[in-house]
Amino acid sequence: MKLSDAGESRVNGYLFVLERSLKTFLPGDVVRDAVREIDSHLRERIATADGAPNERVALEKILSELGTPLRVAQAYSAERTIDEAIATGRAVAMLRAVWQLAASTVVGFGAALGIFIGELMGVAFVALAVLKPIFPGNVGIWVKDDGSGWPWNMGAMFPAPAGQHVIGGYWVVPICLVLGLTILVLNHRGTRRFLGWWRSRQVS
């Protein structure tokens, strides 16, 4: 199908709105490449269309199948961000990718929640390892002064609550440090694996 001037104006208007939408997600140089790529794909679709029953209807059908400019911009941005996160494994890139998925999908939100909890646990254990030498009487395993001797909590409390005391010496430091770093590493690998799974699902 060969477009008339009206058809060209419609396509150019779509691409203009798409470019503005992409600029809210991606840097300028990436936006230009993205618009060229999507423009090429759109032109191929138009060239192979038969134009029935008329140009306007056929063109609107192609554009509706492609999606609104905002939706296309969101999908393209998420795809590029996920690809960068998988390729580099950088924490910031993975954070952006997970954030985009969390904002647009239920599965992404659930995964982001689990990843956040894992990250919080890892940081908490590392923080305990750092705080123990500074506040030895406030960080460790807490036991109630009722003679039972059973630990009921582990963490840092300021001030130390009445009727409770800390057990465990400085051996808490290496244990918390190892636990914290292990959780952070596993969380990082799990996040990268999740993004890889998500990307492969979209490709298939």
Query: Could you tell me the two tokens for 75?
Result: 């999908």
pLDDT surpassing 90 at residue 111: yes
**Structural domains of the chain, count:** 2
Cα–Cα distance for residue pair 98/92, rounded to 1 Å: 10
Q: Any alpha helices (H) in the chain, and if so which ranges?
A: 5-22, 28-48, 55-66, 69-88, 91-104, 106-134, 172-203
Helix (H, G, I), strand (E, B) or coil at 138: coil
Q: How far apart are the first and last CA of the chain?
A: 29
Looking at 66, 81, 105, the residue that finishes a domain is 105
Q: Are 60 and 154 in a shared domain? A: no
- 44-59: pLDDT as tens digits: 988 888 877 888 888 8
Query: Could you tell me the two tokens for 41?
Result: 């794909």
Looking at 83, 105, 127, the residue that finishes a domain is 105
Looking at 46, 77, 105, the residue that finishes a domain is 105
b/e map 156-185, b = 16+ CB within 10 Å: beeeeeeeeebebeeebbeebbebbeebbe
Query: Could you tell me the two tokens for 181?
Result: 């770093």
Of the candidates 158, 165, 161, the one whose C-alpha atom is nearest the C-alpha of residue 144 is 165
pTM of the shown model:
0.70
Confidence at 147, pLDDT banded by 50, 70, 90: confident
Domain that holds residue 175: 106-204
